[in-house]
Amino acid sequence: MNARTCLRVLIAMAALGVLLGPLDSNVVAQPLPRVHRIGWLSQGSAPDKTNPDFGDFQRSLRDLGHVEGKNLTIEYRYADGQLKRLDELARELARLPVEIIVASGESAALAAKGATMTIPIVATEMSWDPVKAGLAVSLSRPGGNLTGIASEELWEKRLAVLKELAPKISKIAVLWNPANPGNGACRSEIIAAAPRFKLDVRWVEIADLPALDRALITLSTDSPDALAACWDIVSMAKAETIARSALKIGIPTLAPLSEYVRAGVLLSFGTSLSAQRRSAARYISKLLQGTLPGDLAIENSQPKLVINAETLQGLGLTAPVSLQVRVDEVY
């Protein structure tokens, strides 16, 4: 290469450097987006992707600018109904560590609280009062590292609606899991409310799915007038079977969450898991922006009265007008 050619090459390279220099500088100056890591601790199992509510939690986060796989990583831990596993799963999330733990269910909230006093915890899908459970100082200013969504004591109102719909019932069987602390609160509420409605309550323990199957087999011989279920992963997993078994012998069913009604249970008065997950996403967004969990008021979920019209018809019942005007949703 002669001197003239070399000079042309140098001039060309210099020109290219002038053109690319500012662009390259801008690329280098762009900071990589921070990827937040949160944990999801559930007493249940991994969700069924065919469920219409699948992904509602992630979609709610995405609407708030937190996109899984982009600027957010979620570490999922499921106990598959084995509540004793929650303590170790909670400690595992704390060791990673994660920035926030979302605790799905009462047992998960207790496990998360036991695993860390510093990592913020968003409790959701609870059916009891976190203040009475010792998880928070108050609803308005929870203090500590836990906040989230709670549920009011609503079993007296649920039983009132049931009696309004089926006034002749006097004996009610209640499915409950003694290993679930939230079910302990359910039991206490029903015991306190039952005398007002002159209800004789029979408690049916369902610590696992085989126990629930056995309980449903004996349902027809025990002859209750109605069947209720405390919110638990066991009864939720077999909500459709519970509804079908009760309908077969002609008794109404009652539950705290609308997901049970979607599966065929007659009525519910309370919230839904989907609504609680959407609310949990709002809490996470605020925490990621720097708000302290102890300063975020614990929210009472808004209850809704939900009825399954097909089950109502199958039981030969008619909702009085006074009840019809109060119904929020019909399946």
180-190 per-position pLDDT tens digit: 888 999 999 99
Residue 6 lies in a domain: no
One domain, residues 309 and 295 = no
Mean predicted confidence (pLDDT) in 154-164: 97
Cβ neighbours around 318 below 10 Å, total = 11
Q: Residue 301: pLDDT above 90?
A: no
| pLDDT at position 60 | 96
One domain, residues 262 and 319 = yes
One domain, residues 284 and 314 = no
Residue 22 lies in a domain: no
| Token duo for residue 102 | 């979302």
The total number of structural domains in the chain stands at 2
One domain, residues 237 and 89 = no
Do the beta carbons of residue 56 and residue 71 sit within 8 Å? Answer: no
Domain hosting residue 315, numbered range: 155-270+305-330
Residues 6+ apart with CB under 8 A from 185: 127, 128, 129, 132, 133, 153
| Token duo for residue 119 | 């990592």
Most confident of 126-130, 172-176, 206-210, 269-273: 172-176
Residue 199 lies in a domain: yes
| pLDDT at position 177 | 94
In the chain, % of residues over pLDDT 90: 75
- Tens digits of per-residue pLDDT, 68-123? 999 999 999 999 988 899 999 999 999 999 999 999 999 999 999 999 999 999 99
Residue 67 lies in a domain: yes
Residue 210 lies in a domain: yes
Residues 314, 299: Cα–Cα separation, whole Å: 37
In the chain, % of residues over pLDDT 70: 90
Q: Residue 9: pLDDT above 50?
A: no
| pLDDT at position 190 | 97
Residues 245, 290: Cα–Cα separation, whole Å: 49
One domain, residues 200 and 315 = yes
SS3 assignment, position 229: strand
| pLDDT at position 31 | 65
**pLDDT band at residue 134 under the 50/70/90 scheme:** confident
Do the beta carbons of residue 257 and residue 158 sit within 8 Å? Answer: no
Residue 13 lies in a domain: no
One domain, residues 264 and 135 = no
One domain, residues 311 and 213 = yes
One domain, residues 290 and 279 = yes
CATH for 126? 3.40.50.2300
Residues 6+ apart with CB under 8 A from 92: 77
One domain, residues 191 and 321 = yes
One domain, residues 160 and 186 = yes
Do the beta carbons of residue 106 and residue 45 sit within 8 Å? Answer: no
| pLDDT at position 129 | 83
Residue 283 lies in a domain: yes
One domain, residues 57 and 69 = yes
One domain, residues 121 and 200 = no
Residue 288 lies in a domain: yes
- Tens digits of per-residue pLDDT, 206-264? 999 999 999 999 888 888 999 999 999 999 999 999 999 999 999 999 999 999 999 99
